[in-house]
Amino acid sequence: MSRLLVTELWKGYGGAPVLQDLQLDVPAGSLTAVLGLSGCGKTTLLRVIAGFERAERGAVSLGGKTLDDGRTYLPPEQRSVGYVPQEGALFPHLSVQQNVGFGLPRRERRGRQVTALLEMVGIAALAKRLPHELSGGEQQRVALARSLARRPQALLLDEPFSSLDASLRSRVREEVHTLLREQGVTTVLVTHDQEEALSLADTVAVLRDGRIIQHAEPAELYERPADERLARFLGAVNLIEARFEHGTALTALGALALRGEPPASAAGVVMVRPEQLDVRVSGSDGEGAGTGLGGHVERCRYYGHDALLHIRPEQRERPADTLEPEHLHGSEQPQVSELLLARVHGEQALAIGTRVSVAAHGAATALR
């Protein structure tokens, strides 16, 4: 197992920078997801690591061996790096067995190693088939087996599941994740799918405008994003005004412990995820409202296993998105967003117009 290290990497095309002073540290044997929008530089990063592109500045090393630093440059075939492109890129005229063994010495292409790889990814029975005779998931397994054939120290996956339909994508990525765990190969997966990154990776590095803006374990990233833009990118959020006292955020939804160091300011805006909201049905006269904030369901998005409620609070003054901390003075009541988002179990989906009370649990993250 080998550690992959990228330091102060710069790369551009036609004078326009794509990667700028990029830093990435992938521990040996781990899976790191590089998450970002289309066009942010994810594929360019993989191509530089693989050796298909030269770095303009900075360095790339694997297992302590320099791959590219402006003075030393190893071509792709000498890097011990496997690469799985988005579409698999199988040779259409070669069988599954021939595709997997393509990069091996000729004497090994029909040997036990190729058979073992096919068995490992569950496609041994398909060895004689051509790529067009395979499903999308089977083609991805072939591409993965081919990339592992030369026993690389690192494996690069360029959005390998994006072309699969939803049900197949979920199953194939779980199978690939299990396989990579068993192999213990250092892996970088690039994706624009937040769910994929958070559920599969040991750590997630978020790439924005050519820079890694945060690199952390999935839970840390989701609960303590670097800024508001990243918080929204990772999932739905509620931005709620708060007063800060002794490590606690005092909000209209209740008192919430603050994650991390308390802010220096006395008031600001905190992030609460939809799954942190507790929703109770209340009567038209307010009966059953308890101590929560009153409101009514304005929209309900039902997904089967859960539902997302859009709740209009009774308090409809300036939303947190437009209020700066200096607008809060003394004992003024903290406000909430114009709409609250609450994620509930599917059987708790409520009809539009239902009166509810809303409270929050867990910890909050101060964003401003």
CA–CA distance, 203 with 197 (Å, rounded to integer): 8
Token output for 96: 């599954």
Average pLDDT, the chain: 87
Asked if residue 253 and residue 181 are part of one domain, the reply reads: no
Residue 148's closest CA among 121, 108, 169?
Answer: 121
Average pLDDT over residues 271-285: 88
Q: In this structure, what CATH number is given to the domain that contains residue 96?
A: 3.40.50.300
Task: Name the helix (H) or strand (E) containing 205.
Answer: strand 203-208
* Tens digits of residue pLDDT in 321-368: 433 333 344 444 555 667 899 999 999 999 999 999 999 999 999 988
> Domain boundary residue among 198, 223, 248?
223
- pLDDT for the residue numbered 318: 42
Q: Which of 6-10, 100-104, 161-165, 318-322 has the lowest mean pLDDT?
A: 318-322
Same domain, 35 and 182: yes
The per-residue pLDDT for 107 is 75
User: Could you tell me if residue 229 is inside a domain?
Assistant: no
Q: How far apart are CA 64 and CA 55, in angstroms?
A: 18
Same domain, 205 and 274: no
CA-CA distance, 47 to 13, in Å (whole number)? 13
Mean pLDDT of the 295-322 span: 80
Instruction: Please tell me the distance from the alpha carbon of residue 33 to that of residue 50, in angstroms, as a whole number.
Output: 16
pLDDT tens digits, 195-216: 999 999 999 999 999 999 999 9
Kindly report the number of other CB atoms within 10 A of residue 83's CB atom.
Answer: 22
Any domain includes 231? no
Contacts of 182 (CB under 8 A, 6+ apart): none
The answer to whether residues 105 and 241 belong to one domain is no
Residues 218 and 316 in one domain: no
Q: Which residue has the tokens 């990525």?
A: 173
What is the chain's Cα-based Rg?
A: 25
Query: Does a structural domain hold residue 230?
Result: no
User: Same domain, yes or no, for 209 and 266?
Assistant: no
DSSP string, 157-184: EESTTTTS-HHHHHHHHHHHHHHHHHHT
Q: Which of 202, 223, 244 is the last residue of a domain?
A: 223
The H or E element that residue 256 is part of is strand 254-258
Q: Are residues 270 and 349 in the same domain?
A: yes
284/216 same-domain check? no
Tens-digit pLDDT profile for residues 205-264: 999 999 999 999 999 999 999 999 999 999 999 999 999 998 999 999 999 999 988 888
pTM for the whole thing? Answer: 0.85
Please give the residue range of the domain that contains residue 191.
Answer: 4-223
Query: 87 and 15: one domain?
Result: yes
174 φ/ψ angles, rounded to the nearest 5 degrees = -70, -40
The reported pLDDT for the residue numbered 284 is 59
| Residue 155 DSSP SS3 | strand
Q: Is 351 inside any structural domain? A: yes
- Does 260 map to a domain? yes
Per-residue pLDDT tens digits for 149-187: 888 999 999 988 887 777 778 887 888 888 888 888 999
In a domain, 74, yes or no: yes
Task: With respect to residue 286, please indicate whether it lies within any of the assigned structural domains.
Answer: yes
**Do 43 and 142 lie in a common domain?**
yes
Tally of domains within the chain = 2
Q: Please tell me whether residues 67 and 136 are part of one structural domain.
A: yes
228 lies in some domain: no
Last residue of a domain, one of 166, 200, 223: 223
Q: What torsion do the CA atoms of 18, 48, 60, 15 make, to the nearest 10 degrees? A: -30
Residues 211 and 358 in one domain: no
